[in-house]
Amino acid sequence: MANKLLRTVGLAAGLTVALTSLTGCDFFNWGSQFAPTPAPTSARPSPSPTPTPTPVVTPTEAESVTATGSLEFNSFPVSEVMTGTCTTGDPLTSTLSDPKNDFYSTVDMTVVIDKTNLELVSVSIITGADSEGGVHKIVYDATAPLAGTSARLTGAGPDYQISGTMADQDSPHGKPVTNLIPVVVKVRCGV
C-alpha cells in the first residue's frame, strides 16, 4: 500500500507542476505561445546600391537670326530664294530651305562654319525628286573629306560663300549613283 500511496503522491506532484507551468493557456490557444516564431525582420529594406546620376551638361542655345542663301550645282542655279536661320554662336550653323523649288520639289541645306578659324566644317544638301525621280544628297565633311572632294570658304560674315567639288548621291530612275560635282553655296546671316 505504501507503493500505491507513493505513486499517487508522485502523480499528484507531477500534475501540479504541469498545471502551474501551463497557467494562462486555454484549450483553443494551446500551441500558440509555444509555437516557433520567425526571426525578427527589419522594417526597413536594406538599401540597394543606386548609381550616382551623371550630370548632363546642356550647351547654351545660341541665338539665331534670319538667313538667306542660294545654291548652284553643275554650274546651274538650283535656288536663289533659300530662307532660314543662322545661329550666332560658334560654330555657325545655317539651315536654309526652298520648299517650293521650280525644278526639285524641295531643297534643304545645312552649312556649318567654324567662325573662330573661318573654316568650313560641313555642307549637307538634300533635294526633292526631279523630273526623272532622282533625289540628290550632296555632302562635304571637312573632317573626313571623300577622295576627290574639296571646298573653300570665303567671307567673314555676314556673307559667306562656299565653292568646291562635292559628292552627289543621285538616284535617276531609281538607280543610285555617286558623282563628284561642282557646287557653289552662298549664305547671308542676319538679313
The DSSP symbol for 20 reads H
Residue-level pLDDT, tens digit, the chain, 191 residues: 555 655 655 555 554 545 445 555 544 455 555 555 555 555 555 454 444 444 443 444 569 999 999 999 999 999 999 999 999 889 999 999 999 998 999 999 999 999 999 999 999 999 998 877 889 999 999 999 999 999 999 998 899 999 999 999 988 877 889 999 999 999 999 86
pTM tops 0.75: no
CB atoms within 10 A of CB 71: 24
CA distance 183 to 139: 10
In the three-class reduction of DSSP (H, G, I as helix; E, B as strand; rest coil), residue 187 is classed as strand
